[in-house]
Amino acid sequence: MRKRSAGAVWLGLLVAGMPDPGRVLIAVGLERTDRPDVLDVLRCTQSVESVFAGMGVPVEKLFVHSDDFPGLERVREEILCRTPLKVFNLFEGFSGDSGKEISFASMLENLGVPFTGNPSKTLGRCLDKESAKQLLAKGGIPVPRGVFIDKPGGSPWKGLEFPLFVKPCFEDGSVGIQKDSLVQEEAGIERTLRRKLKEFPRGIVLEEFIPGREFNVGFLGTPPYEVLGVSMIDYSRYSGSLPFLHYGSKWDPACVEFNEILPVLEEGIGSSLRESLVKTARKAGEVLGCRGYFRVDLREREGCPYVLDVNPNPDINEDSGFARQGQKRGYSYPEVVERILAYAG
Ligand SMILES: Nc1ncnc2c1ncn2[C@@H]1O[C@H](COP(=O)(O)OP(=O)(O)O)[C@@H](O)[C@H]1O
Ligand SMILES: [Mg+2]
């Protein structure tokens, strides 16, 4: 496909009937940290800002600090001073406190300012993996069998089939997912659970490990959504790697899996499996009330897709899986960003 300039893209979208974006305020959290997943959001802010600046759209940044909470008065004032606008919401809470993401979106809803991505209710549902699973199961969507644990003791693994997987209930981006997340047998499980609970006292999820290929499906818009693409990881191709996406594989360039595992796009997925993945993922988005843009992570067991995780507002950096899916579909990076803005609500 011939590459078009950002300006041409913008004109094209106007011709296609996309609304005028007005002024864009990019909201992002600012904290002192060296955590790569947090720094990556700042990098994304720059990319999104460059897209709008390149299109000649007025764009400003709004940094949110932890001491703005609980009231968010300063932030509210700043937003009110800069109307008319849309907020491009890249605020994801702070390290160890993802819940602020929900309060921030809720504040934007109360102000009545259109903002990109998912509403506060959806963020709340998805940031609590156990609640999300329960809602999905109620909606008839296959999820791994498992239990929520917030205190040590008992034998919560009874009735579940090993191998099991343990992950924090209220984190994302593979935070807290390491080698010891995969538990092969009963011996030592109690110690692992105690250790994980100490690190994540709000709670962990212990569930059956789904060993098959991993997929993610990216979506844009409102139900029934536009499918951006389907990506696949076949762990059997990487003999020396752990068979799941742990923190290092997503964020640490020194980690073998970081360099080795790259999801393949729209290849090697039979058409009936692809159809079933998209159908299941779309339904998961609908059940959780997703809007704007989101990505559903799934794994396959005996041809059946299981939903592991629904990611509202996933990474949209230029080199992200989401942007790569867009490219494969024929959207340049500025077009993906513009579409996300167009769905602000
Ligand atoms: N039940 C499971 N079975 C197999 N792999 C899993 C399971 N749950 C999580 N994983 C692996 O861990 C990764 C991160 O888990 P996920 O639930 O997506 O949380 P996060 O919000 O941190 O991305 C997944 O991409 C997958 O590789
Ligand atoms: Mg995930």
Which pLDDT tens digit goes with each residue over 301-329? 999 999 999 999 999 999 999 999 999 99
Which of 40-44, 133-137, 181-185, 204-208 shows the lowest mean pLDDT across its residues?
40-44
State the pLDDT at residue 4: 43
Instruction: Answer yes or no: do 136 and 231 share one domain.
Output: yes
Please give the pLDDT value at position 17.
Answer: 54
Same domain as 132, residue 247: yes
In a domain, 339, yes or no: no
Based on the fold, state whether residues 24 and 109 are members of the same structural domain: yes
Residues with CB under 5 A from ligand 2 (ion): 297, 309
Regarding whether 218 and 180 lie in a shared domain, the answer is no
Q: How far is the CA of 16 from the centre of ligand 2 (A)?
A: 33
Q: How many helices (H) and strands (E) does the chain have?
A: 12, 12
d(C-alpha 149, C-alpha 98), whole Å = 19
User: Does ligand 1 have an atom closer than 6 angstroms to the CB of 299?
Assistant: yes
- Does residue 264 register a pLDDT over 50? yes
3-state SS assignment for residue 298: strand
Q: Quick check: pTM over 0.85?
A: yes
Q: Look at residue 326 and tell me if it is in a domain.
A: no
Q: CATH number for the domain including 36?
A: 3.40.50.20
Report yes or no on 330 lying in a domain: no
CB atoms within 10 A of CB 21: 22
Assigned domain for 341 exists: no
Q: Which atom of ligand 1 is nearest to the CA of 172?
A: 21
Q: How many whole angstroms from 283 Cα to the centroid of ligand 1?
A: 19
Looking at the fold, whether 131 and 274 belong to one and the same domain comes out as: yes
Question: Are residues 187 and 239 both part of a single domain?
Answer: no
Report the pLDDT value the prediction gives residue 308, as an integer from 0 to 100: 98
Q: Whose CA is nearest to atom 2 of ligand 1?
A: 209
313 CB within 6 A, ligand 1 = no
**What ligand 1 atom has the least distance to the C-alpha of 144?**
1
Is 46 contained in some domain? yes
Q: Ligand 1 in contact with 244 (CB < 6 A)?
A: yes
Please give the sequence-ordered ranges of beta strands (E in DSSP) within the chain, or none if there are none: 23-29, 59-64, 85-89, 146-149, 164-168, 182-183, 204-208, 214-221, 226-233, 264-265, 292-301, 304-312
pLDDT band of 5, cuts 50, 70, 90: very low
Q: Is 21 in the pocket of ligand 1 (CB under 6 A)?
A: no
279 and 304 assigned to the same domain: yes
Q: Domain check: are 155 and 198 in the same one? A: yes
Task: Tell me the C-alpha distance between 242 and 76, whole Å.
Answer: 45
User: Which has the higher per-residue pLDDT, 297 or 6?
Assistant: 297
326 lines ligand 1 (CB under 6 A): no
What's the domain count of the chain?
Answer: 3
292-305 pLDDT per residue, tens: 999 999 999 999 99
Tell me, using a 6 A CB cutoff, whether residue 176 lines ligand 1.
no
CATH of the domain at 154: 3.30.1490.20
pLDDT tens by residue, 9-43: 444 444 455 555 579 999 999 999 888 888 899 99
Q: Which whole-number Å values give the CA distances from 86 to 9, 81, 177, in the listed order?
A: 19, 13, 35
C-beta of 156 in contact with ligand 1 (< 6 A):
no
Which residue is closest in CA terms to ligand 1's atom 8? 308
Look at residue 101 and tell me if it is in a domain: yes
Give residue-wise pLDDT tens across range 116-165: 999 999 999 999 999 999 999 999 999 999 999 999 999 999 999 999 99
| Co-location of 59 and 153 in the same domain | no
Are both 137 and 191 inside the same structural domain?
A: no
**Same domain, yes or no: 279 and 192:** no
Q: Residue 257 C-alpha to ligand 1 middle, in angstroms?
A: 15
What is the pLDDT, as a whole number, of residue 31? 92
Same domain, 138 and 98: no
Q: Is 239 left (phi over 0), alpha (psi -120 to 50) or beta?
A: alpha
Q: Say how many Å lie between the CA of residue 165 and the centre of ligand 1.
A: 8
- Tell me what the mean pLDDT of segment 93-122 comes to: 94
Among 177, 181, 257, 258, the mutation site with the greatest number of ligand 1 atoms within 8 A of its Cβ is 177
> Which of 28-42, 59-73, 213-227 shows the lowest per-residue confidence on average (mean pLDDT)?
28-42
Domain that holds residue 91: 6-116
Q: How far is the CA of 76 from the centre of ligand 1 (A)?
A: 36
Instruction: Answer with the one of 180, 208, 236 that is the final residue of a domain.
Output: 208
Radius of gyration of the chain (CA): 20
Q: Which of 92, 35, 146, 147 is nearest to 316 (CA)?
A: 92
CA of 247 to the centre of ligand 2 (A): 11
172 within ligand 1 shell (Cβ under 6 A)? yes
Please state, in angstroms and rounded to a whole number, the distance separating the CA atoms of residues 93 and 104. Answer: 8
130 lines ligand 1 (CB under 6 A): no
